[in-house]
Amino acid sequence: MGWDMRKLVLAFAGLLLSGVSAQATEVYDQNLMHGVYYGSGNGLSPEDFAVVNNNSIELGLRAKLTPNVGTAPAVPLQIDGSNGVYVVPLGDAFNFDFSVDPSVGTSQVSLAGVNQSITITNELTGATYTGNPATFGDATSSNAPGGYQNSEKITFGFLGLGYDPALNDTYDINLTVGDLTDTIDVQIGSGFTAAVPEPSTWAMMILGFCGLGFMAYRRKQNSPSLRLA
């Protein structure tokens, strides 16, 4: 390998490493730096958020049982979100809580003009909601100026996700602010599992592929050969 090629490879590797380090690491079952300020019972510890922090902005996401639905009491216990997966028993509903705090560094960061989005996907049906969380986020206390957070029920009609507490399902939730992304999965019951073809279906598929392969082979064998004079 020539010297110019070595320099190109090293430069490309450096670019890849710099791209990886730019995205902060997501940490699970954490308390928010400035706490939780919305709703009754939301400040219970541990807060069990999935948190991303780049020393300027902190994002937090979690799921908890919706109070007074199914087995959940008025102030339900927080759900353990180890590895970013929150498990909700069948028959219950859940709230997704989000937090955006631009005041975790030495000075507050302006969010003006910064892309902000929250996307929720129902894996079972494919229904998706995408919106700007700042439009339905409540301002936080003076400890976190410029930030916002809120708690929304998955059953809210404006989301259009068709939540059914009786179905095994999984919801993917992504919160993005600038180049920071926070992600959790909320598993309902045993979760969503893609349908696996029946053995007879597999057999028909294999026979079909074999048939296509045989036809292609025959076509190749029967095609006229090009002969040179």
Domains of the chain, by residue range, sit at 24-188
Task: Check pLDDT > 70 for residue 221.
Answer: no
What are the DSSP calls for 164-208, one per residue?
A: -TTS-EEEEEEEEETTEEEEEEEEETT---PPPPPHHHHHHHHHH
Q: 54-110 pLDDT, tens per residue?
A: 999 999 999 999 999 999 998 888 899 999 999 999 999 999 999 999 999 999 999
C-alpha distance across the termini of the chain, in Å: 46
How many residues in the chain?
229
**Best-predicted range by mean pLDDT (10-19, 55-64, 189-198):** 55-64
Please identify, in words, the CATH class of the domain defined by 24-188. mainly beta
Helix (H) or strand (E) holding 17: helix 3-22
How high is the pLDDT of residue 50? 97
Mean pLDDT to the nearest integer, 198-210: 55
Amino acid at 158: F
C-beta separation of 99 from 176 below 8 A? no
Summary mean pLDDT of the chain: 82
Read off the pLDDT band of 19 (50, 70, 90).
very low
**210 or 45: which leads in pLDDT:** 45
Read off the pLDDT band of 37 (50, 70, 90).
confident
Helix (H) or strand (E) holding 131: strand 128-131
CA 178 vs CA 56, 84, 85, 112, 129: distances in Å: 11, 21, 24, 11, 19
What does pTM read for this prediction? 0.76
How high is the pLDDT of residue 202? 45
